[in-house]
Amino acid sequence: MTTTRVLVVEDDENLRFAVATELTAGGLVVVTAADLAGADAALREGDVACVVFDRMLPDGDSLHFVERRRRRGWAVPVLFLTARDSTQDRVDGFAHGGDDYLVKPFSPAELAARVHVLCRRGGTPRPSVLTLADLELDSARREVRRSGVLLTLSDKEFSVLEVLLIRAGQVVSREDLLEHCWDGSADPVANVVDAVVKRLRAKLRAPGLIHSVRGAGYRLAAE
């Protein structure tokens, strides 16, 4: 049976245990380390599908650890955990090789959902700026523009649009959007996804890019 291994690098023992417990409950095999030296050793021992790094560790900033490995062609998806929540901090995280960025305190269920997305993505780095026609989404700056005009989106609207852009041209089910963009507290039978998509359509304006696929979900395409 194929197992998906994830490395969690966190010096706070309680938080490391909580994250590992949540990921294990989601069917992942979790390896842990308390510092960068431990992370280096764990990565030498075997392949992992994703690494969760606390930003500030006892032996340095994990940002520079990841950046050095990226320069050598390392493509394993990385999620940074941090208490730093400024736009510049997020920009730095993506610029130095991060694929996702989660600010403390966070929901363990949301972290698990994000890790599962990164594991499915595999080792192909995703650009921080996604585009379709005249639509542009900058993951690092958390900005969306349509025809050059900056749009104001809620966190959920941004997350839903990001998933649709990553899978542009493909049908994305409501269940997939719930899994990727909500922390597990949403009622899967409620129309929370439809409500967010409705607001997104209004903000994106015409010509429409988000298309309903009856009985299946939504597809983002320039048609």
The per-residue pLDDT for range 162-220, each reduced to its tens digit, is 889 888 888 988 888 887 777 555 555 558 899 999 999 999 999 999 999 998 999 99
pLDDT per residue as tens digits for the range 204-215:
999 999 999 998
pLDDT per residue as tens digits for the range 35-83:
999 999 998 888 899 999 998 899 988 988 998 888 777 889 999 988 8
| Angle at which helices 192-204 and 155-166 cross, to 10° | 80
Looking at the fold, whether 117 and 139 belong to one and the same domain comes out as no
Predicted local confidence at residue 208, as pLDDT? 92
pLDDT of 94 above 70: yes
Looking at the fold, whether 64 and 85 belong to one and the same domain comes out as yes
Looking at the fold, whether 92 and 152 belong to one and the same domain comes out as no
Looking at the fold, whether 78 and 41 belong to one and the same domain comes out as yes
Looking at the fold, whether 94 and 148 belong to one and the same domain comes out as no
- The residue from 70, 99, 121 where one domain ends is 121
- The residue from 59, 94, 121 where one domain ends is 121
pLDDT of 1 above 50: no
Distance separating alpha carbons of residues 25 and 19, to the nearest angstrom: 10
Looking at the fold, whether 115 and 135 belong to one and the same domain comes out as no
Going by pLDDT thresholds of 50, 70 and 90, the confidence category of residue 223 is confident
Looking at the fold, whether 116 and 134 belong to one and the same domain comes out as no
* Number of helices (H), then strands (E), in the chain: 8, 14
Q: What is the pTM of this model?
A: 0.58
**CATH number of the domain within which 115 lies:** 3.40.50.2300
Q: Which domain holds residue 161?
A: 129-220
Distance separating alpha carbons of residues 186 and 178, to the nearest angstrom: 7
Predicted local confidence at residue 88, as pLDDT? 75
| 102 Cβ contact partners less than 8 Å away, ≥ 6 residues apart | 79, 80, 81, 82, 110, 111, 114
- The residue from 89, 121, 153 where one domain ends is 121
Looking at the fold, whether 114 and 136 belong to one and the same domain comes out as no
